[in-house]
Chain A
Amino acid sequence: MNYHWNWAIFWEPSPEGWGSYADMLMSGLYWTLATSIAAWIMALVLGVIVGVLRTMPYRIPAAFAYAYVELFRNIPLLVQMFLWFFVMPELVPEDFGRWLKQMPNAPFYTAVISLGFFTSARVAEQVRAGVDALPRGQRMAGTALGLTLTQVYRYVLMPMVFRIILPPLTSEFLNCIKNSSVALTIGLMELTARARSMQEFSFQVFEAFTAATLLYVAINLVVTFGMRWLEKSVAVPGYIGSSRT
């Protein structure tokens, strides 16, 4: 292989006018974290609401939740980002559209919104699976005790549902971090975009992508260990997963 390795490239000044290539990757890391954490919070809130709606004994909210999930999980994330970024501002009144387009950091907000909606559909499915996994008797017992539907969810169902779905939620959080790289297509300078531009400026492809890979692995390991700790600390003795402590 005719390739000139240059690991010292990270300390060379970047062509952006400030800092080194390492600083450039770090700013990418910052945007990756900002995007994925903001999108994850949005996904959790919306996902739980929609997931719960789907399991409610009412027809219309359940149908709405069903439509929501199918809409956001069946359209590829890349297409969703394009629709939010390029098409949506054309559909709203012109002045509002122009304001949207000229907004500073527009790619960031767009990325958070589309990644948030996309991930929320997947979280909603997991919440629904969690509720369905509980024996029907729990819901009935709650109602028999005279609890309202809200109380049944709040005090009987959801505490167990969250414990059951923690492992798949971990995967979903990791996916959310990795999916944030799709936002490079709408101009968000996150980690992958920074690695790409670093390789185009310097032509040191392998160094750039090795660094990006290691950074992604590092963030994901932190998340994995954090979530595992959370799983253990909230585990109910004698219930699923807790026997392996």
Chain B
Amino acid sequence: MKRSLIAAAMGLALVAAPAGAEELTGTLKKIKELGTITIGHRDSSIPFSYYDDRQQVIGYAMDLCYRIVDAVRDELKLPDLKVVLNPVTSATRIPLMANGTIDLECGSTTNNLERQKQVGFTITHFVTANRFVSKKANNLKTLDDLKGKTIVSTSGTANIKQINQINAERNLGMTILAAKDHAEGFLMMETDRAAAFVMDDILLYGLAANSKAPNDYVISADALSVEPYGIMLRRDDPQFKAVVDKAMINTYTSGAIEPIYKKWFLAPIPPRGVNLNLPMSEAFAKVVANPTDSGDPAAYK
């Protein structure tokens, strides 16, 4: 009798235990066990995530990520949570995220529906548009001005995909070159290998501002599309995503986003003290008012 009572009590305790404190799963469990969180960062994604002149990783996305890290620290009650920085490239970010090397990717990664089949994204932290930069002297204003010309975009980006589609749909007969990275795409335009460089406008502003003759270039008013940027995390990890999303929403609703945005887009930034001078776009202001993690460009119109 006594023995069966004990057994019953033990059985009850076993059932009750997980219900008391919610069991940690996925990334949160891993962070708690290791006491470290690993942030994947870019090396030259100005002003989102890049090395400054003292080889420190800084940027708009990094500031937001550190707020997420603070939220995780509070959530797990781990005051000495260590942050490890791990550089990633566009080719390594997926494998490193999948195999658990990095927990967050803080940079300028476009959130779209196709990519969501592989990874998750938190609340959008920037909205960019696909535009082109060209030499002022060539007087190219709209897409129709590029008819039959050679243009360049960066290989493997949503931008080159889009310009290819538009080229086919509207029969513009453009020759589209693929550059290895943004700097090289700009170089092709700078050296007249291509008439225009098609890319996210924010990156174009950064490249033009840092070029030898910033006043020689003009960025088109015509926008080909809208692209939301998101901080990347592992897919199917609702517990971690909830903490990260909460931290992002908190940043937006508390108004903390204002000084962070100003610091990176409306003030001189390292390493060369260039001011991008880019007020918050209407599309992004909407996201700040109504935070969303949608990967559908239509949600940002």
Contact = CB atoms under 8 A, between A and B. Distances in A.
Interface of A: 1-4, 6, 15-18, 85-86, 89-90, 98, 101-102, 104, 106-107, 184-187, 189, 193, 196-197, 199-206
B193 A106 contact: yes
B235 A184 contact: no
A202 B192 contact: no
A193 B177 CA distance: 12
B95 A206 contact: yes
A contact face: mostly helix, strand, loop, or mixed = helix
Contacts of B114: 201-203
B118 A17 contact: no
A17 B90 CA distance: 22
B contact face: mostly helix, strand, loop, or mixed = mixed
A2 B161 contact: no
Interface string B91-122: 10011011110000000000000110111000
Contact of B193 (A6, A101, A104, A189): A101
Interface of B: 90-91, 94-95, 97-100, 114-115, 117-119, 150, 152, 155-158, 160-161, 164-165, 167-169, 175, 177-180, 184, 187-188, 191-193, 234-237
Contacts of A184: 155, 180
A199 B152 CA distance: 20
A206 B168 CA distance: 29
A196 B156 contact: yes
B165 A17 contact: yes
A209 to B, nearest CB: 9
Contacts of A203: 94, 114-115, 117-119
A86 B178 CA distance: 15
Contacts of B179: 187
B165 A15 contact: yes
